[in-house]
Chain A
Amino acid sequence: DGGITQSPKYLFRKEGQNVTLSCEQNLNHDAMYWYRQDPGQGLRLIYYSQIVNDFQKGDIAEGYSVSREKKESFPLTVTSAQKNPTAFYLCASSPNSPISASTDTQYFGPGTRLTVL
């Protein structure tokens, strides 16, 4: 089945440690995104990537890093520099079609809940 997978579903980290969240898609989408969700808040964009080997900072990129070496994969690293990393993290992808932007709807993975102990 086509879709977006995120792993792990739950992740615990000690303060001062870096941790990497996985996001994989087999939808052949060009664009991928990382969002953070806090209680009582909507989603906020951390990083996005429109093509392989290219990515851009979103609204809250400080303390995070990403890579996009393959079209299917867009891992997010939460570094020790992130002051308040406990949150729910959602990955999304979209076709990013230059021909028809109207079809550029974002589809989401199931999310990863990160807790800092």
Chain B
Amino acid sequence: AQTVTQSQPEMSVQEAETVTLSCTYDTSESDYYLFWYKQPPSRQMILVIRQEAYKQQNATENRFSVNFQKAAKSFSLKISDSQLGDAAMYFCAYRSEGGGSNYKLTFGKGTLLTVNP
């Protein structure tokens, strides 16, 4: 079974600065998808960014980018120019390629990000 580990329970960053959240995962599969979700105080899960394992190029979405290291099974999230609205719990998630139960997402335990003004 796949596992996802987020080793930083809490992180903090100054407004306008850059922060990197870590995520590692364990899998024997070669094709899969990785996600970062944000959960603000409202508790709704919001997709931040997605990475397909077969793509070598790191995904980017505006101020959010990832550093995907397939061999190391590492998938970190970099937030540039941090804003107060970025404060939230961030979850890393893994999904297998294919159908059936592979559709499920396996989540890490999350990293609580605080943004200081």
Residues of chain A touching chain B, judged by Cβ–Cβ distance below 8 Å, are: 31, 33, 35, 40-45, 48, 50, 56, 58-59, 88, 90, 92, 94, 96, 98, 101-102, 104-111
How far apart are A106's CB and chain B's nearest CB, in angstroms?
6
- On whether the beta carbons of A94 and B47 are closer than 8 Å, the reply is no
- Provided the pairs A41-B109, A42-B91, A42-B110 are in contact, do residues A110 and B103 lie with their beta carbons within 8 angstroms? no
- Provided the pairs A42-B4, A42-B91, A105-B35 are in contact, do residues A58 and B104 lie with their beta carbons within 8 angstroms? yes
- On whether the beta carbons of A109 and B107 are closer than 8 Å, the reply is no
- On whether the beta carbons of A42 and B107 are closer than 8 Å, the reply is yes
List CB contacts (< 8 Å) of B75-111 with chain A. 91, 93, 95, 97-101, 103-105, 107-110
- On whether the beta carbons of B47 and A56 are closer than 8 Å, the reply is no
How far apart are B117's CB and chain A's nearest CB, in angstroms?
27
- Rounded to whole angstroms, the CA-CA distance of A108 and B38 in the bound complex is 11
Residues of chain B touching chain A, judged by Cβ–Cβ distance below 8 Å, are: 4, 33, 35, 37, 42-47, 50, 52, 91, 93, 95, 97-101, 103-105, 107-110
- Rounded to whole angstroms, the CA-CA distance of A104 and B95 in the bound complex is 10
Known: A43-B105, A45-B104, A105-B47. 18 other contacts (CB 8 A): A33-B104, A35-B105, A40-B109, A42-B91, A42-B93, A43-B91, A45-B105, A50-B99, A50-B103, A58-B101, A58-B104, A88-B43, A90-B45, A94-B103, A98-B99, A101-B97, A110-B43, A111-B44
- Provided the pairs A102-B33, A102-B52, A105-B35 are in contact, do residues A43 and B107 lie with their beta carbons within 8 angstroms? yes
- On whether the beta carbons of A108 and B45 are closer than 8 Å, the reply is yes
Neighbouring B residues of A92 by C-beta, 8 Å: 45
Neighbouring B residues of A104 by C-beta, 8 Å: 95, 103
Neighbouring A residues of B109 by C-beta, 8 Å: 40-42
- On whether the beta carbons of A110 and B47 are closer than 8 Å, the reply is no
List 9 tightest A-B contacts by C-beta distance, closest first.
A42-B107, A108-B45, A45-B104, A43-B107, A110-B44, A42-B109, A111-B43, A42-B108, A102-B52
Sample 13 A-B pairs with CB under 8 A, ordered by A number. Answer: A33-B104, A33-B105, A41-B109, A42-B110, A43-B91, A43-B107, A56-B101, A101-B98, A101-B99, A104-B103, A105-B50, A108-B37, A111-B43
